[in-house]
C-alpha cells in the first residue's frame, strides 16, 4: 500500500503451471489445471473464487501439504526470499526437514475456522511457544516472553493471562488474532491467509483486516489472501487472481481489474456483489393495509449461571432484553447484529424453541408464550425455520424424500400415497429435479442443500418463516439465487419472513424493514433503505461503516468507527 | 477447584454405596430359602438329617430368623467398623477369605488393563494413520476375531498350546510350591510367570474393541483443521499426530478404567474357573450358589466399590486431560 513495487521487483514466491490431482479409485481427478501467479513483498494478492475453485488447494500446495490422496502432478513453486536464495518447494519431500523449516518459519498460514484451527486441549501459549521453538533456538522461558509480546502485538488484552487460556475461552475474533500471532511468531516472509475473516462478524472482520495490514507493513510480508468476498478484495488487495474450477481465469492489479473485467466469471462474481448493493427488483412488500401477523412485546430471555452448593444465580446473561417489534402479513423483517447480539435467540423464542423469560409473543391474536402442546403444535405448523448451515441441518442418513416428507408425516398432513407426489412438487418448486429425491444430502452442493431445507420449511404451507442466516454459508452467486427463490415463494404463498443475518447487503436485498440488535436490545428499527442511507443510532453507523465496499477506488475514503457502549 | 471436585465426588460416593449395599443385600436375599435350606439340602443328599431343634438353633445363631431389615442393619452396622461377618460355609471370618482374593483380582485386573492399553494404543493409532493399508487390515481382522472369540475358548486353546508345545505350567496364578508360601520375591516372580496367560485371555476382547474405538476416534480427528495448523507450523508428522489428534482421541481410553474393572471381575468368572485362578470370581459364584450371604454380600459390595472408584479415577483423569470437560 505504501510502496509501489512494479513488475521488475522479483516475486518472492511464484507458482508456475501448477497441477494438482487427487488419486482416486476411479483414476486421477485433477483439481488444479496449470495455475500460475506471483506474490511480492509488501503486496497483498487476493485469490478469489467460489468453493471448489481450487483456492485452498493452491495454498496448501505452496507448503507442500496437499491433503491425501492429492498429489502435485506438475508445475513448480519457486520461493525466493532473497536475491541469492532460491528453493523449489515442489521438489522437496513433503515430510522432509527442509519443507518443515519453511512451513511456519518462512511461510506462515492462517485458516478460516478460528475455532477448529486451534487445538481444543492445549493452551494458546503452548501452541505459540511450540511454533517459536520449532524455528528459533530459544529456551522455553524466552519463547514464552516472545509469545506474550506477539499476543500484545495482535492486540489481545491481558496477554500474560491469555497464554494460559484455551481457544474455547476466546471469542471468534480473539481466536483469529491468536492464530495470526502464531503464524507470525517466526516473522515469516510470506503469510497465506485462507478465508481468515469469513467466519467473523463484519465489525470484527474490519478489525482483523486493519491488523493484518499493519503487521504487513511492519514485517514487510507478502500476503496471499484467499477469499470469496469481492468487498474484502476491494478493501485490501493490491493484486487479484480470479480462479474458477482449477483455472486462473484472470489476474491483474486490483483497480484495473475492478474497472474493466474481461472474463465473464469475474464479471459474474462482481455482478453478484453489486446486485446485493441494492434492494431486489422482485421485492413484493406487504399490502398497504396488511394486518399484523406477529407482534412481540418486551420479549426477554435471560440465561442464569448457577454455582455453589445452593445453586445460587451468580451471573445472568441477558440474551434478549426487552425486544419489541411487529411483523405484518407478507412482510420481510430483517434482524441484523453481530454474534452475541441475541438475534438468533429472538428467532428461536418466536419458534418457541427457547422459553422466553418474560414478554409476550402474539401470533395472529393468539398468545404463543402461553400455548401448550396441541395448540403449540398447530402454531409450529404455521411457523417454520430455515437454518444457517445446510450441511449440518440435514440428516446425512436420510434421503431427500424422507427429509422433506418428515414434517408432513409428523403432522399427519399427507397420505403415504401422495407423499411422493407432494415431495416431487415441492422439489420442483424450489428448482430441484424431483428425480433426485432418493439421494442423500451429501450428493448435493451447498446451494442445492439450502433449497432442500427451504422445501422442507414450506412443506406444511406455513404463514411465517424464520430464516436464520440462510445464505451465509453459501457462495455469493448462489446467495442471490436462494434469496430470489425465497422472494418468489414469498410472492406466491404470501409468506411473512423474519430474516436473521449479520450481512447488511443481504438484508438490503431481501427485507422491507430491518431491526438492528445490539446486546439483546433493538437499537433501531425502520424501513431498510432509510436505515442504510440514514442510520441514527451510533451502533448502526459503526456496523455500516465496517461493511467492505466493493469498489477499490473508494478505499480509505470512509472513516471506520467502533461502537463501544458505555453503560 | 479440582480438589473441590474430587471431594465432592468422594462425598457423593457415600450415599451411592449405601444404596448399592441395600440392593446387594436384597439381591442376595432374593432366591427362596437361606443358607440353612441349601445346607440341609446338601446334607440330605448324603442322607444326613438334622433335627428341627438343631436347625432352629443354627438359624437363631446366624440371625436368619429375624426380619430382613433387622438382618440388613446388623450387617451394615458391623460393616461400617470393618467387620464383614462370618462365612457360614467356610466357618471363617469373611475378611480372611476375601482380601487375598480381592488383592489378586485387583492385581490381575490392573495387569490386564496395562496390557490392553499397551497393545491397543499403538495398533489403534497405526490403524488410523495408515487407514486401508495392509497393516490396518491385519489389525482389523485380528481385532474382530478377538471380539468374537469367547474368553474361555481362548483360555482352553492357550492352555493347550502352553502345555503341549512349551511344557509350561498353566492354570492358577502360582506354582504348587508357592501356593501356600509366604510372600517373597520368588513368589512374585512366580506370579509374573503365571500372569501372562490370564492377562492375554482376559485382555484380548477389550484390546480388540479399544483398537476399534481408537481407530474410529482418531480418524475423526485426523482431518480436523487444527491438525493442518500444526502441520503448517513445521511440526514433524509423528509428533504432530501424537501431540494433537491422538491427545484428543485419548478420552475413551481413559474411560475404560471405569468399565474394565467390573467387567474383568464379573465377566471373567468362567475364565477364572477354566484357568483355576484364585481370584474373586469363582469364590463369589460359590458363595451365591450356597447362599452364603455374608461372603456374597462382601464380594458384591467390594466389586461395586471398585467400580465406583474406577469411575471416579477415570473422571478425574478426564478432567485433568481435557480442559473442555467442566467439573463444576
pLDDT at A196: 87
DSSP letter string, B173-238 = SS-HHHHTSPP-HHHHHHHHHHHHHHHHHHHHHHHHHHHHHHHHHHHHHHTSHHHHHHHHHT--HH
pLDDT, tens digit, 9 for 90 and up, residues A358-397: 888 998 888 888 878 888 888 888 999 998 878 788 888 8
**Distance between B10 CA and the closest CA of chain A, angstroms:** 15
**Distance between A170 CA and the closest CA of chain B, angstroms:** 13
pLDDT, tens digit, 9 for 90 and up, residues A231-249: 888 888 999 999 988 889 9
Q: Is A183 in the same domain as A234? A: yes
Residue B28 has pLDDT above 50, yes or no: yes
Contact A191, A221 (CB under 8 A): yes
Q: What is the mean pLDDT of residues B112-126?
A: 90
Confidence grade of residue B186 (pLDDT, cut at 50, 70, 90): confident
Confidence grade of residue B50 (pLDDT, cut at 50, 70, 90): confident
Q: Is A141 in the same domain as A62? A: yes
Domains of chain B, by residue range, sit at 95-321
Q: How far apart are CA A45 and CA A444, in angstroms?
A: 32
What strand order describes the sheet that includes A190-194?
A: A107-110, A190-194, A222-227, A44-48, A239-244, A247-253
Q: How many CB pairs under 8 A join A and B?
A: 77
Buried b (16+ CB within 10 A) or exposed e, A422-445: bbbebbebbbbebeebeeebeebe
- A111 closest CB neighbour out of B225, B248, B328: B225
pLDDT, tens digit, 9 for 90 and up, residues B311-324: 888 888 888 888 87
Q: Which residue of A has its CA nearest to B245?
A: A119
Instruction: Let me know if residue A189 belongs to a domain.
Output: yes
Q: Is A305 in the same domain as A442? A: yes
Provide the CATH number for the domain formed by B95-321 in this structure: 1.10.3720.10
pLDDT at A471: 84
The answer for residues whose C-beta is within 8 angstroms of residue B285's C-beta and 6 or more apart is B269, B273
Helix or strand run (H / E) with residue A519: none
Which of A107, A120, A126, A178 has the highest number of chain B CBs within 10 A, making it the mutation to test binding with B? Answer: A120
Sole residue written with cell 493471562? A161
Residue A3 has pLDDT above 70, yes or no: no
Instruction: Let me know if residue A92 belongs to a domain.
Output: yes
pLDDT at A565: 61
Residue B125 has pLDDT above 90, yes or no: yes
Q: Note down the domain range covering A476.
A: 292-534
Cis peptide upstream of residue A69 (ω within 30 degrees of 0):
yes
Task: Kindly report the CATH number assigned to the domain that includes residue A210.
Answer: 3.40.50.300
Q: Is A206 in the same domain as A70? A: yes
Q: Which residue of A has its CA nearest to B226?
A: A117
Q: Is A87 in the same domain as A126? A: yes
Kindly state the percentage of chain A with pLDDT values over 90: 24
pLDDT at A307: 66
Q: Is A155 in the same domain as A62? A: yes
Instruction: Let me know if residue A170 belongs to a domain.
Output: yes
Sign of CA dihedral A9, A10, A13, A14: positive
ipTM over 0.90: no
Instruction: Let me know if residue A527 belongs to a domain.
Output: yes
Instruction: Let me know if residue A564 belongs to a domain.
Output: no
Residue B265 has pLDDT above 70, yes or no: no
What strand order describes the sheet that includes A27-39?
A: A27-39, A13-24, A70-82, A85-88
Q: Is A307 in the same domain as A259? A: no
pLDDT, tens digit, 9 for 90 and up, residues A494-541: 899 999 988 888 888 899 999 999 888 999 999 998 998 899 999 998
Q: Is A254 in the same domain as A384? A: no
Residues of A at the B interface, defined by Cβ within 8 angstroms: 60, 63, 65, 67, 95, 100-105, 108-109, 111-113, 116-122, 130-131, 134-135, 166, 168, 179, 182-183, 307
pLDDT, tens digit, 9 for 90 and up, residues A158-213: 888 889 988 888 887 888 889 988 988 888 999 999 888 877 778 888 888 888 89
Q: How far apart are CA B155 and CA B201, in angstroms?
A: 6
Label the pairing between strands A496-501 and A464-468: parallel
Of B48 and A455, which is predicted with more confidence?
A455
Q: How far apart are CA A30 and CA A24, in angstroms?
A: 10
CA distances from A521 to A8, A303, A333, A345 (A): 55, 15, 16, 11
The answer for residues whose C-beta is within 8 angstroms of residue B267's C-beta and 6 or more apart is B151
Label the pairing between strands A292-307 and A358-363: antiparallel
Q: Which residue of A has its CA nearest to B222?
A: A67
Contact A512, A286 (CB under 8 A): yes
Instruction: Let me know if residue A561 belongs to a domain.
Output: no
Instruction: Let me know if residue A287 belongs to a domain.
Output: no
Instruction: Let me know if residue A256 belongs to a domain.
Output: yes
pLDDT at B327: 56
pLDDT, tens digit, 9 for 90 and up, residues B147-162: 888 888 888 888 888 8
- Chain A CB contacts of B254 under 8 Å are none
pLDDT at A7: 47
Q: Is A422 in the same domain as A460? A: yes
Number of domains in chain A: 2
A91 CB-side CA count, 13 A? 6
Size (chain A), residues: 567
- Chain B CB contacts of A60 under 8 Å are 228
Q: Is A217 in the same domain as A318? A: no
Which of A119, A150, A166 has the highest number of chain B CBs within 10 A, making it the mutation to test binding with B? Answer: A119
Size (chain B), residues: 328
Residue A312 has pLDDT above 50, yes or no: yes
Q: Is A377 in the same domain as A267? A: no
Amino acid at each position: 500500500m505504501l510502496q509501489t513495487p512494479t513488475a521488475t521487483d522479483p516475486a518472492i514466491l511464484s507458482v508456475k503451471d501448477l497441477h494438482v490431482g487427487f488419486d482416486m479409485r476411479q483414476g486421477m481427478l485433477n483439481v488444479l489445471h496449470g495455475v500460475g501467479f506471483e506474490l511480492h513483498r509488501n503486496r497483498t494478492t487476493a485469490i478469489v473464487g467460489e468453493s471448489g475453485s481450487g483456492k485452498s488447494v493452491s495454498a496448501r500446495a505452496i507448503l507442500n501439504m496437499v491433503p491425501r490422496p492429492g498429489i502435485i502432478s506438475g508445475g513448480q513453486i519457486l520461493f525466493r526470499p532473497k536475491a541469492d536464495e532460491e528453493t523449489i518447494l515442489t521438489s522437496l519431500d513433503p515430510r522432509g526437514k527442509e519443507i518443515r523449516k519453511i512451513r511456519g518459519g518462512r511461510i506462515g498460514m492462517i485458516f478460516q475456522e478460528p475455532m477448529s484451527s486451534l487445538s481444543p486441549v492445549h493452551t494458546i501459549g503452548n501452541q505459540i511457544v511450540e511454533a517459536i521453538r520449532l524455528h528459533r533456538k530459544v529456551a522455553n522461558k524466552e519463547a514464552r516472553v516472545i509469545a506474550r509480546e506477539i499476543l500484545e502485538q495482535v492486540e489481545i488484552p491481558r496477554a500474560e493471562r491469555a497464554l494460559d487460556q484455551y481457544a474455547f475461552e476466546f471469542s471468534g475474533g480473539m481466536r483469529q488474532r491468536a492464530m495470526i500471532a502464531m503464524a507470525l511468531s517466526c516473522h515469516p516472509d510470506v503469510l497465506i491467509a485462507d478465508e481468515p475473516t469469513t467466519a467473523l462478524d463484519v465489525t470484527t472482520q474490519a478489525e482483523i483486516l486493519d491488523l493484518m495490514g499493519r503487521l504487513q507493513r511492519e514485517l514487510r510480508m507478502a500476503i496471499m489472501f484467499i477469499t470469496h468476498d469481492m468487498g474484502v478484495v476491494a478493501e485490501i488487495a493490491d493484486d487479484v487472481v480470479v480462479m474458477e474450477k482449477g483455472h486462473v481465469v484472470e489476474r491483474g492489479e486490483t483497480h484495473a481489474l475492478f474497472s474493466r473485467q474481461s472474463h465473464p466469471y469475474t464479471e459474474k462474481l462482481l455482478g453478484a456483489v453489486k446486485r446485493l448493493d441494492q434492494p431486489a427488483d422482485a421485492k413484493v412488500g406487504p399490502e398497504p393495509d396488511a394486518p399484523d401477523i406477529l407482534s412481540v412485546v418486551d420479549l426477554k430471555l435471560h440465561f442464569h449461571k448457577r454455582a455453589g452448593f445452593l445453586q445460587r444465580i451468580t451471573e445472568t446473561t441477558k440474551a434478549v432484553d426487552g425486544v419489541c417489534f411487529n411483523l405484518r402479513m407478507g412482510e420481510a423483517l430483517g434482524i441484523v447484529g453481530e454474534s452475541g447480539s441475541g438475534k438468533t435467540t429472538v428467532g428461536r423464542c418466536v419458534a418457541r424453541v427457547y422459553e422466553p423469560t418474560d414478554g409476550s409473543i402474539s401470533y395472529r391474536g393468539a398468545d404463543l408464550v402461553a400455548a401448550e402442546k396441541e395448540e403449540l403444535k398447530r402454531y409450529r405448523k404455521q411457523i417454520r425455520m430455515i437454518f444457517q448451515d445446510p450441511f449440518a441441518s440435514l440428516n446425512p442418513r436420510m434421503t431427500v424424500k424422507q427429509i422433506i416428507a418428515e414434517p408432513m408425516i409428523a403432522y399427519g398432513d399427507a397420505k403415504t400415497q401422495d407423499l411422493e407426489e407432494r415431495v416431487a412438487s415441492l422439489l420442483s418448486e424450489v428448482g430441484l429435479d424431483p428425480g433426485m429425491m432418493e439421494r442423500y444430502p451429501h450428493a448435493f452442493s451447498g446451494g442445492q442443500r439450502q433449497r432442500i431445507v427451504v422445501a422442507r420449511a414450506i412443506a406444511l404451507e406455513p404463514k411465517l418463516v424464520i430464516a436464520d442466516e440462510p445464505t451465509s454459508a453459501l457462495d455469493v452467486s448462489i446467495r442471490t439465487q436462494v434469496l430470489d427463490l425465497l422472494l418468489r415463494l414469498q410472492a406466491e404463498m404470501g409468506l411473512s419472513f423474519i430474516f436473521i443475518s449479520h450481512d447488511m447487503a443481504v438484508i438490503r436485498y431481501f427485507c422491507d424493514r430491518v431491526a438492528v440488535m445490539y446486546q439483546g436490545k433493538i437499537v433501531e428499527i425502520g424501513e431498510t433503505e432509510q436505515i442504510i442511507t440514514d442510520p441514527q443510532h451510533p451502533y448502526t453507523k459503526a456496523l455500516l461503516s465496517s461493511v467492505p465496499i466493493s469498489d477499490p477506488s473508494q478505499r480509505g475514503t470512509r472513516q471506520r468507527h467502533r461502537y463501544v457502549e458505555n453503560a | 477447584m479440582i480438589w473441590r471436585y474430587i471431594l465432592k465426588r468422594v462425598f457423593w460416593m457415600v450415599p451411592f454405596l449405601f444404596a448399592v449395599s441395600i440392593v446387594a443385600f436384597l439381591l442376595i436375599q432374593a432366591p427362596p430359602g437361606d443358607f440353612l435350606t441349601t445346607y440341609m439340602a446338601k446334607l440330605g443328599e448324603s442322607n444326613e438329617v438334622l433335627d428341627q431343634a438343631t436347625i432352629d438353633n443354627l438359624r437363631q445363631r446366624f440371625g436368619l430368623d429375624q426380619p430382613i431389615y433387622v438382618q440388613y442393619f446388623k450387617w451394615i452396622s458391623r460393616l461400617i467398623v470393618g467387620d464383614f461377618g462370618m462365612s457360614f460355609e467356610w466357618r471363617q471370618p469373611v475378611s480372611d477369605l476375601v482380601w487375598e482374593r480381592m488383592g489378586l483380582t485387583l492385581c490381575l485386573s490392573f495387569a490386564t488393563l496395562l496390557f490392553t492399553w499397551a497393545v491397543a494404543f499403538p495398533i489403534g493409532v497405526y490403524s488410523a494413520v495408515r487407514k486401508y493399508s495392509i497393516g490396518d487390515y491385519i489389525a482389523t481382522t485380528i481385532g474382530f476375531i478377538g471380539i468374537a472369540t469367547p474368553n474361555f475358548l481362548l483360555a482352553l486353546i492357550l492352555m493347550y498350546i502352553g502345555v503341549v508345545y512349551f511344557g509350561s505350567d498353566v492354570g492358577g496364578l502360582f506354582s504348587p510350591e508357592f501356593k501356600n508360601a509366604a510372600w517373597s520375591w520368588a513368589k512374585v516372580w512366580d506370579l509374573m510367570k503365571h500372569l501372562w496367560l490370564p492377562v492375554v485371555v482376559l485382555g484380548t476382547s477389550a484390546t480388540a474393541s479399544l483398537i476399534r474405538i481408537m481407530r474410529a476416534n482418531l480418524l475423526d480427528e485426523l482431518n480436523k483443521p487444527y491438525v493442518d495448523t500444526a502441520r503448517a507450523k513445521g511440526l514433524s508428522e509423528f509428533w504432530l499426530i501424537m501431540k494433537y489428534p491422538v491427545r484428543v482421541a485419548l478420552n475413551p481410553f481413559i474411560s475404560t478404567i471405569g468399565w474394565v474393572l467390573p467387567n474383568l471381575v464379573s465377566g471373567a468368572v468362567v475364565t477364572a474357573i477354566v484357568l483355576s485362578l484364585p481370584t474373586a470370581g469363582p469364590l463369589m459364584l460359590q458363595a451365591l450358589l450356597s447362599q452364603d450371604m455374608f461372603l456374597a454380600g462382601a464380594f458384591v459390595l467390594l466389586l461395586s466399590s471398585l467400580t465406583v472408584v474406577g469411575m471416579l479415577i477415570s473422571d478425574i483423569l478426564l478432567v485433568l486431560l481435557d480442559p473442555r470437560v467442566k467439573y463444576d
